[in-house]
Amino acid sequence: MHNKKSECLHEYIDVFRDFINGKISKQPKPDEDFDVFVKRMLKLNSQKDWNFLCSSMDLIGDTTLAVDNFFQFGVDGPTKYNDFGEKYLRLYGVLNSIYIQQEAVYRICKIANLSTHSKHKKSLESLEIRDVRHKLGAHSVDYMDKNSDEIHSFVPVRIELGGLNVSYVNNADLSMHSINLSKALEEHLDLMMDMLHDVMDKLKRTLYKSNPEKISEIEQVLDALSAKRRGAVVHKVDGKYSVLIDFGAPQT
């Protein structure tokens, strides 16, 4: 089963990529290096930011494919066998995929000089799926509890590993914890879209401040994506979005 939030994130990154590529579609000045041209057109702080921007866009797309697959097949995977090796690979894989994705989106926020990037960093750190990634997918035997300054270790419970759920044990106090991966991943996806939305909302004014028609076009796309996120029926033709039905439209 495909997830609607994951589908929406695909659209956000496609729109963002088109947004960036459209800005650099013009020809550089005579004898102007491409790196200098891109820095000028995108108002980057450094020429190196272009490399980070390209990598981030690619990584967001790649990791969203990984999340798509996980929503469809869960921890078990498409195999017909009850293979625990497969389950561990998929669990650790999806946890690290979302971490890579979070860092890529956050990098874009910093490149865009988003004034709210610190707020978004706090939101990232508060995500349940990020905390579980640290506990199970990165620092299983050296997790530092910020509240107690003590080091803990965590292990998944093998017999409960399956579907879109995982349980794990804190070996310091033998406490058991469970996480609904579907819900936690959707919270993650919502934040990814919020951050990309904020980036494009800011860049439309930065990069197109003298082009009100382009600003209006970008606003229309962002409004359509926001509507789709809340369940609206959105139609896309030749790159242009239109909202057909929106039962969740804000009341005026």
Q: Nearest Cα to 6, choosing from 224, 186, 199?
A: 186
CA distance 204 to 219: 8
Q: What's the pTM value of the predicted model, to 2 decimals?
A: 0.92
Sequence-ordered list of residues with C-beta below 8 angstroms from that of 64, at least 6 positions apart, any chain:
6, 9, 10, 13, 101
Q: Express as a percent the part of the chain with pLDDT over 90.
A: 76
- Return the pLDDT at 251: 54
pLDDT digits (tens, 9 = 90+) for 51-73: 999 999 999 999 999 999 999 99
Closest CA to 217 of 186, 251, 234, 240: 240
pLDDT digits (tens, 9 = 90+) for 120-162: 999 999 999 999 999 999 999 999 988 888 999 999 999 989 9
How many residues are given for the chain? 252
pLDDT band for position 207 (cuts 50, 70, 90): very high
Q: Confidence class of residue 41 from pLDDT cuts 50, 70 and 90?
A: very high
What local confidence, expressed as pLDDT, does residue 178 receive?
A: 95
* Torsion sign (Cα): 16, 18, 23, 28: positive
Cα(121)–Cα(130) distance, rounded to whole angstroms? 12
pLDDT band at 233 (very low <50, low <70, confident <90, very high): confident
What average pLDDT is seen over the chain? 92
Both tokens of 83, joined, read 């293979």
H runs (alpha helix) in the chain: 4-23, 34-42, 48-73, 84-111, 117-126, 128-132, 181-207, 212-229
